[in-house]
Amino acid sequence: MKKLIFISIISLLGCNRNAQTAHPPVGGVLSQKDLDVSRNRMKNLNIIERGQIQDWINGQSVKYYPTQLNYWVTVEGYDQRERRADNSLISYSYDLYDFDQTKIYDQSIERREAKFGHFDELKAVENALRFIHDGEEVTLLVPSSLAYGTFGDEKKIDNDIPLIIKLKAL
């Protein structure tokens, strides 16, 4: 009987020693404080980038117009046009430039017969495609939050880089 009690006590102590504080998994839930810090960082970055883009626009001969989705376009009243419906098809291509007007990729990014609501594209590109006319070409000035954001594209576009996008409906 003494052996049984001794083994039980040792077992309980052994279980107790292995108990560790639980930590959320990597990529797990962020605290409210972390979310607030991230939100404030993006808000401040967006304010800075919008100011930088506006300064760049002021030095250009081409006129750019702000849209409701936080980017600029070369067509006045662009986002007031009739909007293309979900499931409608569109073919398009676009080129990416930095604000030094250096083309980032040699090849244009092109999609054929893409269906709205079923393709994954930059937010500004997808939104602009909703209002573009067939055969039309527009230039978008896009803050990083609507481009590749805080991670970049993990190739040639670094984090927090605003872009110039030359978009064409084919």
106-141: pLDDT as tens digits: 999 999 999 988 878 888 999 999 999 999 999 999
Specify the pLDDT at position 142.
Answer: 96
**Of residues 152 and 138, more confidently modeled:** 138
pTM above 0.85, yes or no: no
Helix/strand/coil percent split, the chain, to 5: 35, 20, 45
The angle formed by the CA atoms of residues 144, 63 and 141, to the nearest 5 degrees, is 10
Q: Which domains does the chain have, with CATH numbers?
A: 64-169 (3.10.50.40)
Q: Which long-range contacts (CB under 8 A, 24 or more apart) does 152-156 make?
A: 156/104, 156/105
Strand ranges for 116-162 from DSSP E: 137-142
Residue 100 has pLDDT above 70, yes or no: yes
**Of residues 120 and 62, more confidently modeled:** 62
Per-residue pLDDT averaged across 62-79, rounded?
95
The mean pLDDT of the chain is 85
3 state SS for 13-49:
HHHHHHCCCCCCCCCCCCCHHHHHHHHHHHHHHHHHH
pLDDT band, residue 9 (cuts 50/70/90):
low
